[in-house]
Amino acid sequence: MKRSVRPYGDKKNDGAVQVSFTLPMAKSALATEAAKRYVSQMGIREPYVTLAESIAPDFTFFVVYGRATHEIDLSAISAEEAPAGALSREEIDAEIARRFGRRLIVLGCALESDAHTVGLDAIFNMKGFAGDYGLERYHGFDARNLGAQVPVAEVARRVREAAADAVLVSATVTQNEIHVRHLTDLVDMLEAERLRDRVVLVAGGARVDHALAKELGYDAGFGPGTTASVVAAFLLEEISRHQGVS
Amino acid sequence: MKRSVRPYGDKKNDGAVQVSFTLPMAKSALATEAAKRYVSQMGIREPYVTLAESIAPDFTFFVVYGRATHEIDLSAISAEEAPAGALSREEIDAEIARRFGRRLIVLGCALESDAHTVGLDAIFNMKGFAGDYGLERYHGFDARNLGAQVPVAEVARRVREAAADAVLVSATVTQNEIHVRHLTDLVDMLEAERLRDRVVLVAGGARVDHALAKELGYDAGFGPGTTASVVAAFLLEEISRHQGVS
Amino acid sequence: MAASKLGLSAERIARCRSLAREVADGVRRETAKYTTVATERTVLRLLGVDGVDAEEVPIPNRAIESLAAAGKMNRGAAVWMGSALAHGSGGVAEAAARLADRKGAAALTEHPRWRDALLPHVEKGLERIRGNRAERERRLASHPPDERPLLYAIVATGNIHEDLVQAQAAARAGAQCIAVIRSTAQSLLDHVPYGATTSGFGGTYATQENFRLMRAALDSIEDELGRYVRLVNYCSGLCMPEIAAMGAFERLDMMLNDALYGIIFRDINPLRTLIDQNFSRRINAAAGVVINTGEDNYLTTADAVEQAPAVLASQFINERLAKDAGLEDWQIGLGHAFEIDPELEDGLLYEIAQAEAAREIFPDAPLKYMPPTKHMTGNVFRGYQQNALFVLTSVATGQSIHLLGMLTEALHTPFLHDRWLAVDQARTIRTNARHLSEELQFAPEGRIVRRARAVLAEAEALLERVAAGGLFAALADGVFADTRRRIDAGRGYEGVVERDAGYANPFLEAFTHAPAATGVHA
Amino acid sequence: MAASKLGLSAERIARCRSLAREVADGVRRETAKYTTVATERTVLRLLGVDGVDAEEVPIPNRAIESLAAAGKMNRGAAVWMGSALAHGSGGVAEAAARLADRKGAAALTEHPRWRDALLPHVEKGLERIRGNRAERERRLASHPPDERPLLYAIVATGNIHEDLVQAQAAARAGAQCIAVIRSTAQSLLDHVPYGATTSGFGGTYATQENFRLMRAALDSIEDELGRYVRLVNYCSGLCMPEIAAMGAFERLDMMLNDALYGIIFRDINPLRTLIDQNFSRRINAAAGVVINTGEDNYLTTADAVEQAPAVLASQFINERLAKDAGLEDWQIGLGHAFEIDPELEDGLLYEIAQAEAAREIFPDAPLKYMPPTKHMTGNVFRGYQQNALFVLTSVATGQSIHLLGMLTEALHTPFLHDRWLAVDQARTIRTNARHLSEELQFAPEGRIVRRARAVLAEAEALLERVAAGGLFAALADGVFADTRRRIDAGRGYEGVVERDAGYANPFLEAFTHAPAATGVHA
Ligand code: B12
Ligand code: B12
Ligand SMILES: Cc1ncc(COP(=O)(O)O)c(C=O)c1O
Ligand SMILES: Cc1ncc(COP(=O)(O)O)c(C=O)c1O
């Protein structure tokens, strides 16, 4: 049964919407008319330009109110459940405490000869990446950043010693596939030490993606633009699955 | 030469727009998905719902940012000069002072047997009509509201005595065309007294419109929903034209 | 009373009060001689007369027009209702019909025991008012005390049924007072429309049925909210006492009730509306209603810095007139507004000075602080900013009633989310700055203190001028808002009638002598 | 100095300063024994060494790596540059190339008259810094004094050429300081990228060429605006003194310059960055630059009420370290932020208390007040409201540098209109509340005064704890932001080298003895 819905200002289906944007043109009657027509093209009738402000020599900022004509048929959406939003830092910490009752130990390093650490640090340290704070800020994680150029044997030793829950390694230099060699060496070492199944293993780097990492035996791979919050949410679910905790 | 323009957030043509509206449905993942799809129908891609707030049991308020895909071709607009916005009260007062150097005398009343004054008062007194203040608030007008049931002879007498610039009459009761009779009587009286050409003559009322007023020999007619600011702007131009002042 | 922060001269404040008393006495000397069609219609309504005739004209209007035509109005409607009953009319409705009949009214003679015949009906009307007051106090006492300032929201769809939905939404969002804006210029109607109304002009008609419907709708969510929601309406204008009586009968909590507003802004005859105001304020006093006065209107167009003294002078006069009509301090919600140009250097300091001065001069009055309108533009972000500064100033100076400002003030009657944003803003800042007024003090000879003193001094000068010739002369001279209003002009003058020697108004008598009930108040 | 509004105990403040001095002395005792790769690269840059080799590695990096490999770094790059010149190198570039060559560096012997050979180049570097300082002071003196607080806007497109457009737009809109945000985590690079850059990570790389381009762009509109526009960048991190030197060479006006930030929030080795900080602050002192410290970072996630004492303690330590490095009061832009939860009862009173306390404790410091981030949401109207309260608090407590908050803080790097709205808001409220700080006083035993005293007391306790074991021990214990940072861990530790007996750094010597130039300052 079609159930269509339109915005509500102060009467059913009045379609009331507010819009704001800047047009790259000097303030003028022409600019205001352009803003009106622009909003009309968005399917908004009776556009009322309440503000036209010159905010830079060739830029005018507009606030426009109007009546949107579109309708949304809710019955068409109800089928696919809308995707849930990303968990916040507080929600992840609360969930770790609830499920595990302890902090999850996460080790990280740049492998073997690789000296690039900025990417890994942006995932690990307090300041994080452009405002998305690093794993150190999460009470739920005991994040230990082992730094640059760490041999695979050292990684295995630290995993055993710390009883780590997860290992995050970064590989940036890719000349003659050096990153593939290093990443594979680590998996082999962990399997040899019968540690592979006790940890969630994650690879990352400017030239790493999920497919490559899975292919090399990792649980996941993260490339450019990755933020700590995405990695934290993944670790919560993956470690829970790994350790049969829910 | 086509010159197309799109909104500018922080890069040329990034189409950045902000939208806000309420949907009449309870807050839920479904509602957020509906808001996203609604904004997409407006031609906005990558809709990012930054706020979904339950503001009443079955109402959710949304703020959404996105990238509008439409373009405006400026060359198509430049032809018709965009209509200038209505003058503000301050602008009208300044313009009257500049053109006339004195206050314009405006008389008003409800004609003959008609006792309805609320409409005329909403145009005349300080408080005006729903926030649009009456002619008394305009320093440029000396607005004199003669009140209800004023005979046409009395109107003519007051026009001569006050050397009025304009006369605004209200006629609301229309049973057996009584309003047409009264309005016509006034025009006849003014012409007999050779006063018609010395004033701008305006009729108004719930059942009056511009066509009827012109037909009856008035300079203009105003119906339901009229505000003082519209009448004031009209009087400025009409009296200027009438008295050859620019 | 909190120590003064502005060091305002107590003598000068006392001087202003004594001048206001002189003005009020002058008004009373003039108004006491008269009654009006509205005051007499109100006596009929308080006796229980209601309804409309076939042409939808209210019965009270018919009865009073008929009494006036018969030259009997000067003695007061009560005398004739009592006489009709004493001469055998079966009840109030029948008596009113008899008065409304031209011949019947002309023929009716005063009955010596008209008071005895009328007494039970007078008592019934007074009891209904007392009952509503007790009910309100019972409900208020059943909840924790309300946070101050009270957050006041407006609904105005024109259709009472749609208003009910929006009012409940506003109350649920946190609004503590709900006002249904009247159909614009209803001040100018010399009758009160009857029944539920579904179309108005930029607002919803004030009718007794609309009051009843909204009161019930707000009561129905009281338990859900865990607090009593106050209902506000407007009795200013030609039907001032009538609408006050309807509010008293339907348990309205607050009423816009200001003759000066009607005179200056609606060109209503000064004598008519000041006579009516006295009776309307008597009714509101008895009903435990908080009145609001309209000083904000001085600031909506004229410059808010220049007009501040006029606002203060008007507040002193309104306070005195209200007290003379039996209203207690806690019932006198004097009005003022946050209207100074946001671009003015130190303009915010003057807002603080003026709001603090009102607080200190009228310490027990439930001051009603109105939002910015004049300098609000289509920049809704700037609008939300100015309303944030308005809320902070309100909390910082301990205002009592805070009318929520909408970010879209300059654009349209509020959308649902406009109102939600306003309530959310006020609730958050009220909490975030809870005890700010206890904290703040001002530099002894600073700009804020000097501004407050200057406004008080100019207000005193204005009151000297008004007291010199009396309020009616001052109004004719355009002392207020440069608008000249003569005593013998403006709407409703024809409805003013001299009282004759035998005039009687049992309700006015009852309200004048009965001690106001104590107990918890709004 | 304005009378105290908070009645803070002068003894307690003095005690905090003496504890901070103990901490600073402890740090100096430790750091004085060492130099670092970054400090020595900076000496080369000040001598005029620049450019990159075929693999785009900066020449200073090559030269210092080579000296280190030859075991010669402990004596300081200056000795070897001087010796190379004395041994016949034709000029600074040639000498640097000689150092960068592994064999050449190993073979080089110290020349007895290395100082004489080096002197003209040292003098040239110092003169360039003095010249820029005088130029800034000349330009500032040619305009009326700036309105306070200075409005500080951020641009961050990642492409320096796009940054120029946005920076000019922000300056035209009214911003008085423009900061180009660095590519995120540039703190962690142990080299400074070379040349103009067009792609970064959430920001634009700090390079000397980018500084030069932006300085020229802002100078080009100085006459049009009738005021000097201050340019800000970030030297915190592994290249702290190097970027400070580049700023001094290109007439940057302000620098984020805080080792504690690098240690706690970028996990940089404490010893390394505290050694580097001293030299970087010496350079900024000489260049007449105002430094900014990063205490706001304590408040961006942890609770802003709990962390207030840590902010104040950090400010005391930063003040002492800065003075020990020759910075004058007017150059020490201590950081703090408006980050308390807007839903907290009386939270605004605590913000006022903390901001006023900073003002009174550091009366001559150009305090840098940072906008709300933690509690900013997708409700951009609430965002604009919180930034309005932030501006008002800033003006009410006389802050010096006001970093403009964006209503879209939680959403994206600012759009052009986001920034315009922020500047419009700050300019309007700064004018509307111009003299508010002169007006306000606080109830002697009120919540604001008590809050300020409590924060001071807790800060003192924190300083007692830090002074007891010294800063390095305190950092290892996680005293700040519950984050443990050991003296022998974190980025860049390998770059720390013990000075040997013959160590020399002619610039450090020059900055330490030369009296700072007086005259008009930023
Ligand atoms: C800074 C830098 C350096 C610095 C590194 C300093 C340091 N402490 O990191 C120094 C100068 C030491 C350096 C050296 C070299 N570098 Co380099 N370097 C760069 C540069 C300019 C920036 C890299 C960076 O900081 N990116 C910023 C971060 C935030 O992005 P990111 O690394 O992609 O990280 C993100 C994602 O990938 C992801 N991620 C990354 N790691 C991980 C790990 C996990 C577990 C997860 C979940 C996510 C994740 O999340 C991060 C945040 O979103 C790049 C060029 C460029 N502009 O990218 C070249 C670059 C990486 N370097 C390069 C090269 C070749 C070298 C050298 C070999 C040069 C030389 N010939 O000597 C040496 C190698 C040194 C060595 N032993 O490794 C090449 C690599 C080419 C290739 N694909 O092989 C690049 C691409 C430059 C180029 N275009 O040629 N380099
Ligand atoms: C209030 C009212 C009354 C009041 C008037 C009080 C007063 N002081 O005005 C009283 C009770 C006295 C009254 C009496 C009567 N009324 Co009557 N009244 C109304 C009512 C309910 C509202 C009118 C009103 O106030 N509108 C509000 C104003 C703001 O709107 P407006 O008048 O349209 O004015 C606007 C525009 O028209 C314009 N405008 C108006 N005048 C002018 C003048 C100028 C110069 C300009 C520029 C603009 C302008 O600007 C105004 C603001 O936008 C209407 C029904 C309705 N709901 O409309 C009936 C109505 C107008 N009345 C009606 C009738 C029939 C009567 C009576 C004849 C009833 C009777 N049988 O006794 C009497 C006549 C009395 C008389 N001698 O005229 C009919 C008229 C039908 C018809 N078309 O003829 C109406 C429509 C009711 C109905 N539906 O039957 N009435
Ligand atoms: C005191 C007072 N009464 C009544 C009103 C209602 O106005 P109207 O005259 O349009 O009914 C107002 C204005 O809003 C007012 O301030
Ligand atoms: C003092 C200080 N320095 C530098 C920076 C720049 O941070 P990053 O380490 O990402 O370069 C910041 C944070 O914004 C800071 O507060």
Partner-chain residue, chosen from A59, A137, A145, that has the shortest CB–CB distance to D267: A145
Position C3 pLDDT exceeds 80: no
Position B238 pLDDT exceeds 70: yes
Nearest-Cα distance to chain A for B20, in Å, is 5
B24-75 residue pLDDT tens: 999 988 899 999 999 999 999 999 999 999 998 899 999 999 999 999 988 8
Mutate to test the interface with D, among A59, A118, A136 (most CBs of D within 10 A): A118
pLDDT confidence of C522, banded at 50, 70, 90? low
What secondary structure letter does DSSP report for C52?
B
Range scoring the smallest mean pLDDT among A4-13, A164-173, D67-76, D470-479:
A4-13
Position B84 pLDDT exceeds 80: no
Partner-chain residue, chosen from B21, B41, B70, that has the shortest CB–CB distance to A18: B21
Q: Output the pLDDT for position D516.
A: 53
Nearest-Cα distance to chain B for C259, in Å, is 14
Helix (H, G, I), strand (E, B) or coil at A31: helix
Position B96 pLDDT exceeds 80: yes
D3-23 residue pLDDT tens: 789 999 999 999 999 999 999
pLDDT confidence of B148, banded at 50, 70, 90? confident
Please determine, for the modelled complex, whether the ipTM score is greater than 0.90: no
Position D522 pLDDT exceeds 80: no
Portion of chain C with pLDDT greater than 70, in percent: 98
Cβ D384–C389 below 8 Å, yes or no? no
- In angstroms, rounded to a whole number, what is the distance separating the alpha carbons of residues C236 and C263? 10
Partner-chain residue, chosen from D185, D266, D415, that has the shortest CB–CB distance to A22: D415
Range scoring the smallest mean pLDDT among A81-95, B123-137, C16-30, C75-89:
A81-95
Q: Which atom of ligand 3 is nearest to the CA of C181?
A: 6
Portion of chain A with pLDDT greater than 70, in percent: 96
Give A140-152 as a DSSP string: TEEEEE--SSB-H
Establish whether D477 is a catalytic residue.
Answer: no
pLDDT confidence of B82, banded at 50, 70, 90? very low
Cβ A82–B37 below 8 Å, yes or no? no
D357-388 residue pLDDT tens: 999 999 999 999 999 998 999 999 999 999 99
Residue C263 CA from chain centroid, whole number: 14
Q: What spacing in Å lies between the alpha carbon of D60 and ligand 1's midpoint? A: 20
With the CA atoms of C2, C8, C10 and C12 taken in that order, what torsion angle do they form, in degrees rounded to the nearest 10?
-150
Q: Note which residues in 294-323 of chain D have CB less than 8 A from chain A.
A: 297, 300-301
Q: Output the pLDDT for position A79.
A: 44
pLDDT confidence of B11, banded at 50, 70, 90? confident
Which residue has its alpha carbon closest to ligand 4 atom 13? D294
Tokens of C6: 């502005």
| Selected residue with higher pLDDT from A203 and A3 | A203
Q: What spacing in Å lies between the alpha carbon of C156 and ligand 2's midpoint? A: 21
The residue annotated as part of the active site, out of B2, B27, B36, B127, is B127
Helix (H, G, I), strand (E, B) or coil at C400: coil
pLDDT confidence of C302, banded at 50, 70, 90? confident
Write the burial class of residue C95 (CB in 10 Å: 0-12 exposed, 13-18 middle, 19+ buried). Answer: buried
Q: Output the pLDDT for position D290.
A: 98
D380 interfacial to chain B (CB closer than 8 Å): yes
Q: Which atom of ligand 2 is nearest to the CA of B175?
A: 84
Q: Output the pLDDT for position A82.
A: 47
Reading phi first (left if > 0) and then psi (alpha if -120 to 50, else beta), residue C169 is in alpha
Residues 6+ apart with CB under 8 A from D363: D1, D2
CA of C388: which chain D residue's CA is closest?
A: D385
Residue/partner pairs of C306-310 with CB below 8 Å, 24 or more apart: C307/C481, C308/C350, C308/C354, C308/C455, C308/C458, C309/C455, C309/C458, C309/C459, C309/C461, C309/C462, C310/C459, C310/C462, C310/C479, C310/C480, C310/C481
Position C341 pLDDT exceeds 70: yes
pLDDT confidence of C515, banded at 50, 70, 90? low
Q: Output the pLDDT for position D518.
A: 53
Q: What is the mean pLDDT of residues D310-318?
A: 97
Q: What is the mean pLDDT of residues D204-223?
A: 97
Partner-chain residue, chosen from C348, C434, C438, that has the shortest CB–CB distance to D345: C434
Q: Which atom of ligand 4 is nearest to the CA of A130?
A: 10
Establish whether D194 is a catalytic residue.
Answer: no
Q: Note which residues in 195-254 of chain C have CB less than 8 A from chain B.
A: 201-203
Q: How long, in residues, is chain C? A: 522
A245 interfacial to chain B (CB closer than 8 Å): no
Q: Return mean pLDDT, chain C.
A: 95
Q: What spacing in Å lies between the alpha carbon of A172 and ligand 1's midpoint? A: 5
Helix (H, G, I), strand (E, B) or coil at A113: coil
Which residue has its alpha carbon closest to ligand 1 atom 49? A204
Alpha helices by DSSP H, listed for D197-294, are 208-219, 222-225, 240-250, 259-266, 270-287
CB-CB neighbors (< 8 A) of B131 in chain C: 202, 373
Q: Return mean pLDDT, chain A.
A: 91
Give B154-203 as a DSSP string: HHHHHHHHHT-SEEEEE----GGGHHHHHHHHHHHHHHHTT-GGGSEEEE
CA angle centred on A95, ends A91 and A96, rounded to 5°: 120
Q: In Å, how far are B117, B121, C191, C241, C243 from C187, measured between CA atoms?
A: 11, 11, 10, 12, 11
B130 interfacial to chain A (CB closer than 8 Å): no
Q: What is the mean pLDDT of residues D479-492?
A: 92
A37-89 residue pLDDT tens: 999 999 999 999 999 999 988 999 999 999 999 999 888 875 444 455 578 89
Nearest-Cα distance to chain A for B95, in Å, is 20
Q: Is the CB of B119 under 6 A from ligand 2?
A: yes
Nearest-Cα distance to chain D for A23, in Å, is 10
Place of tokens 């709708």: C217
Cβ C185–B118 below 8 Å, yes or no? yes
Q: What is the mean pLDDT of residues D148-173?
A: 92
Q: What is the mean pLDDT of residues A186-194?
A: 95
Range scoring the smallest mean pLDDT among B170-179, B215-224, C89-98, C143-152:
B170-179
Write the burial class of residue C435 (CB in 10 Å: 0-12 exposed, 13-18 middle, 19+ buried). Answer: middle
Q: Return mean pLDDT, chain D.
A: 95
D36 interfacial to chain B (CB closer than 8 Å): no
Record the pTM: 0.88
Q: Output the pLDDT for position B211.
A: 87
C69-81 residue pLDDT tens: 999 999 999 999 9
What secondary structure letter does DSSP report for A208?
-
CA of A11: which chain B residue's CA is closest?
A: B24
| Selected residue with higher pLDDT from C82 and B114 | C82
Tokens of C507: 């309700």
pLDDT confidence of C458, banded at 50, 70, 90? very high
Portion of chain D with pLDDT greater than 70, in percent: 98
Angle between helices D37-46 and D506-513 (to 10 degrees): 80
Position C252 pLDDT exceeds 80: yes
Position D438 pLDDT exceeds 70: yes
The residues that bridge with C286 in the sheet, in sequence order, are: none
pLDDT confidence of B87, banded at 50, 70, 90? confident
Q: Output the pLDDT for position D514.
A: 67
Give D372-420 as a DSSP string: P-TT--S-HHHHHHHHHHHHHHHHHTT-SEEEPPPTTTTTSSPPHHHHH
Position D334 pLDDT exceeds 60: yes
Looking at the annotation, which residues of C are catalytic?
261, 296, 368
Tokens of A25: 């043109």
Place of tokens 């985590």: D185
Portion of chain A with pLDDT greater than 90, in percent: 74
- In angstroms, rounded to a whole number, what is the distance separating the alpha carbons of residues B182 and B188? 10
